Amino acid sequence: MKVQDFLFLLVFGAVWIFRKRYLAAAGLVCLILAIPLFSFRIFFTAERLTWYAAAFFVSAAAVMLRTGRGRGH
């Protein structure tokens, strides 16, 4: 496990436990950080950031479906 994976797990756990409403925002931050890395051809880290963003987005969708906020209520 690389350092970036460990940091992702720490951040993901902290956001999941304390501020679930920021899951989608964390995904957007990951995508914004990945854009310059792709332009500098640092593909491994940029690809990981896109996977992390996907994990944040899927978690946000799951939270919204569970709480009923995504159903138009």
Report the predicted TM-score, pTM, of the whole model to 2 decimal places.
0.85
Segment 6-46, tens digit of pLDDT: 999 999 999 999 988 899 999 999 999 999 999 999 899 99
| Domain extents in the chain | 20-69
Which residues, at least 6 apart from 30, have a Cβ–Cβ distance to it below 8 Å?
49, 50, 52, 53, 56
Residue 52: name the closest of 37, 67, 66 by CA. Answer: 37
Q: Write out pLDDT tens, residues 55-70.
A: 999 999 999 998 886 5
Asked whether the beta carbons of 61 and 53 are under 8 A apart, the reply is no
